[in-house]
Amino acid sequence: MDDSELHRLGAAARSRLLRSGGTSAAHLLDVTLRAISREPEVFGDLDVPGAREAAAEADGLLAASDRRPLLGVPVAVEEGCATAVPALRAAGAVVLGRTRAADAARVVTSGCASAVLARNALGARTPAAVSGVVGFQPHLPRGGPRTGVIAARSADVALVLDGLGTGALAVPDRPLRIGVSLRGLALHSRTGPVMRHAVEDVAALLSLRGHEVRDSDGRLAAGARVLLAPHLTASPQELALLDRVVPASLRGLCRRVAAAERDVVGGMFDGLDVLVTPGHTGTSRRGPHPASAPFAPLWRVSGYPAVSVPAGRGGNGHALPVQLTASPAAEAVLLPLAALIEQDAVPPRARG
């Protein structure tokens, strides 16, 4: 396999190639560093000596038949996710350094890393799948850390989670109860025809696979009436600043609003395992960036698990992102469903 093909492979295919002896961790790192040299601005902190040392160690362990899932695979972490580095290194990954949040998806699409651990893997402003990659955000326990994964395919995300010891959750042995919404939480949002057709195709696919699919637009619109949009766009870190920036007389009100929002979210999932929504309402005239993305903010704040996955491409060549959000008890079904969507869609680019 030549370097141009190696450059295109996702994390899972690279791991298989390393374990079969088809390449070495040192050579794979060289290919990755050449990609980084063409786009050096995507890294805020690149640790080349440390990566070379890790790759040499990985080659020795591979020769000794060590089969850790991430052994020798080059990965990056988003700024603010440094606490995940020890776990990655323990899994055998070659940690390249820290990338900026705005560049996390670009790091994967450009071949500058096989995967990126990110605080908001769904996308801070633009859905991750707009770039043709998969973004997975796990359930956020109250007060717990929430580190997601951005990678080329759902299988690559699963490999990273397996390496970190957070994969292989039990999948319900029954048809899933899946809701579909084209309106989202903003009462006046309307999804354009291209994104609407993408979501409808996903709904049809899941129905053909034996799952129970139903319209959830009415339920979401009713819940949206008690939600505050400015609050929903805040990150968990920003919400944690309430005690320092909000007057004491208003803190109780803010907490009650947050509690009411959690109750609304729970109500939206009554009788549902998964909710399917567009990644955005449609692209702007200036390119692939969404004109409106009213679906993601609530799930960022609520802590519900979600995955952003490309469901094919539109006529302009841009990836069409679909978001799947699960109740916390159904987190394990997200990546298998994303894999089904990938198999049915035209892949954004050749992957192993």
User: Would you say residue 123 has pLDDT above 60?
Assistant: yes
Q: pLDDT at position 30, please?
A: 95
- The whole-number average pLDDT for the span 6-23 is 92
Look at strands 94-99 and 43-46 and give their pairing. Answer: antiparallel
Is pLDDT at 229 greater than 50 in this prediction?
no
- The token pair at 125 is 């402003």
Q: pLDDT of 38-81, one tens digit each?
A: 988 888 889 999 999 999 999 999 999 998 989 999 999 998 88
Encode burial over 104-134: b for 16+ CB neighbours within 10 A, e otherwise.
bbbbbebbbbbbbbbbbbbbbebbbbbbbbb
What kind of fold does domain 177-344 have according to CATH?
Amidase signature (AS) enzymes (3.90.1300)
**Model confidence at 346: pLDDT above 80:** no
* 73-104 pLDDT per residue, tens: 999 999 888 888 999 999 999 999 999 877 88
**What residues does each domain of the chain span?**
3-119, 177-344
pTM: 0.84
Strand 306-313 and strand 212-215: pairing?
A: unpaired
pLDDT score recorded for residue 19: 93
Res 110 pLDDT > 50 = yes
Contact call for residues 239 and 261 (beta carbons, < 8 A): no
Closest CA to 150 of 168, 126, 123, 124: 123
Instruction: Please tell me the predicted confidence (pLDDT) of residue 239.
Output: 53
Q: For residue range 137-178, list pLDDT tens digits in order.
A: 888 764 445 689 999 999 999 999 998 887 656 777 889 999
| Dist. CA 105–CA 103, nearest whole Å | 6
